[in-house]
Structure formats: C-alpha cells, structure tokens
Amino acid sequence: MDTRNIVPNQFTKGMFVFYNGGIFTIIDFQHIKVAQRRATMSVRMKNIVNGQVLEPSLRSDETIQQVIVEDEEVTYLYSDGSNFHFMETETGKEISLPAEKVGDQKYYMKEGDPVSIAVSGGEPITLKLPVSVELKITETPPGVKGDTAAGGSKPAILETGLTIRVPLFVKEGETVKVDTRTGEYLERAK
C-alpha cells in the first residue's frame, strides 16, 4: 500500500486515508473555528471493508496517511462465493477481489458491467462504482389503486438481490436507476 502524509486541510471528497488501522474514504468534511482555540476539521469517513462510518474531529496540524490509489478499468466477470473476478479492459488480465473487500457493492454489479478497481502499491483495495446503476426489478407487490396520492412506496427486490423502496407506480419487470452511494431509488430507466 502506497501512502503519503497529509494534513486534514488537504482532504477532498472520495480520497482514501489510512485511519485507526483501516482504509477509509472521505465522505464529507467541514472546517470548524472556535474563538481562541485551534481550528479543527469535522470529518465523515466510511471504512471501505465493513462500511463503518466515523465522524472524528481532527486538529488542522494532525498528520494523516493518504492512500495513493490508481484506478484500473475492469469488467465484472463472475463470483465464486469467496472471490469476485474481473478482467482488465486494456490487458485482458484477470484480477480477483476477496468478498470482504467487495462487501455490499456486490448488489450494484451484474456480469459484464464495467467498473473500476482502486489499486495501491500493486494491490487491489476496493471497487469504485459509478454513481448510479440500472437494475431490473424481479419482485414487487402491485400498487393498490388510490394509494398514489400519498406518494407512498413499496419494497422491490432487484436482479442482484438488493431490496430497495420504490414508488407505488413501479411494476415488476421494469428497470430502475439506483444510487450506489445510498442504495436509494432514483428514477425509472429510460
């Protein structure tokens, strides 16, 4: 894993940092300046392996290790249960990621989908998915006539096994756009 030392003032959203023994991605941050005190940075970060979200307050002069990553464009091939297999777009070489590193991101990939893998020091560390993906609804109860006025929602199971809430007018068999960051329904796919 390649790292370099930075201070919180150099944070950007989506950056990877090594913190408390794990690799985290920066979700959000905010400078906090209180009269006659040292400035701090309120940070919201998510562990790339287990999804744990931390919200530490860091001193502005505190040193943090940034994980240097390169993105490799790959195509998702298949999963054998313990590993997810991908093929590099340029070289055709196969790359495997353990299921622990993929985590819940597996629900946003279908075989043949293009994705990116974040690589540090020649070692793949996590997936980088697009902001939204299109998935087909395999199971959802029919909407009841008259319920749409309240703007209600119902559960829907997607082709990857992910369960989300969708508006009542969405039917089984339709394709919907889903936000990969939040797991929320965005709209019907066109």
On whether both 56 and 89 belong to a single domain, the answer is: no
Query: Tell me, what's the pLDDT at 145?
Result: 64
pLDDT digit string, tens, across residues 89-130:
888 999 999 888 888 889 999 999 999 998 888 888 888 888
Q: What are φ and ψ of residue 8, in 5° steps?
A: -55, -25
Between CA 27 and CA 29 the distance in angstroms is: 7
pLDDT digit string, tens, across residues 127-140:
888 889 999 999 99
Residue whose tokens read 């946003």: 108
Contact 110, 70 (CB under 8 A): no
Token pair belonging to 69: 């990553």
Q: Which amino acid is at 36?
A: Q
On whether both 47 and 59 belong to a single domain, the answer is: yes
Q: What is the CATH number of the domain that holds 21?
A: 2.30.30.30
pTM over 0.85, yes/no: no
pLDDT digit string, tens, across residues 161-179:
999 999 988 999 999 999 9
On whether both 124 and 149 belong to a single domain, the answer is: no
The pLDDT of residue 51 is above 80: no
Mean pLDDT of 74-96: 92
On whether both 57 and 18 belong to a single domain, the answer is: yes
On whether both 61 and 7 belong to a single domain, the answer is: yes
DSSP state of 34: -
The domain boundary, picked from 18, 35, 67, lies at 67
Q: Report the domain count for the chain.
A: 3
Between CA 13 and CA 34 the distance in angstroms is: 24
Q: Closest Cα partner for 105 from 46, 54, 65?
A: 46
Mean pLDDT of the chain: 88
Q: Locate the DSSP E strands across 48-90.
A: 53-54, 57-59, 64-67, 70-79, 83-88
Secondary structure of residue 141 in the 3-state scheme: coil
Q: What is the CATH number of the domain that holds 154?
A: 2.40.50.140
